[in-house]
Amino acid sequence: MLRAYGGQLRSNNVRLAHLLCNQRDYGWRMKINRMLELEMSLEEIAESLNRQKIPPAYGRSKWSAKSVRKAFVS
């Protein structure tokens, strides 16, 4: 929401705040990559991320094998 309409500048709602998004994305990729090196399946990785309470990507409520794959390859 634009400031003129009562919006507030916060890191989670500004297009220029991609630094935060990129840091989260990098964190997901590194965690997923380490788990793949341990030969964990996508389902096992999703369960692990959910147990660790890592916020899921793309506005989902929890990690799934499909969202793990999408976060890693996109």
For the question of whether the overall pTM of this predicted structure is more than 0.75, the answer is no
Instruction: Report DSSP state, residue 61.
Output: S
Q: In this predicted model, what pLDDT tens digit does every residue of 7-56 receive, in sequence order? A: 776 666 555 556 777 788 888 889 999 999 999 999 999 999 999 998 88
For the chain, what are the domain ranges? 3-73
pLDDT value, residue 72:
82
Residue 61, sorted as left (phi over 0), alpha (psi -120 to 50) or beta, turns out to be: alpha
Overall size of the chain counted in residues: 74
pLDDT value, residue 24:
82
pLDDT value, residue 15:
59
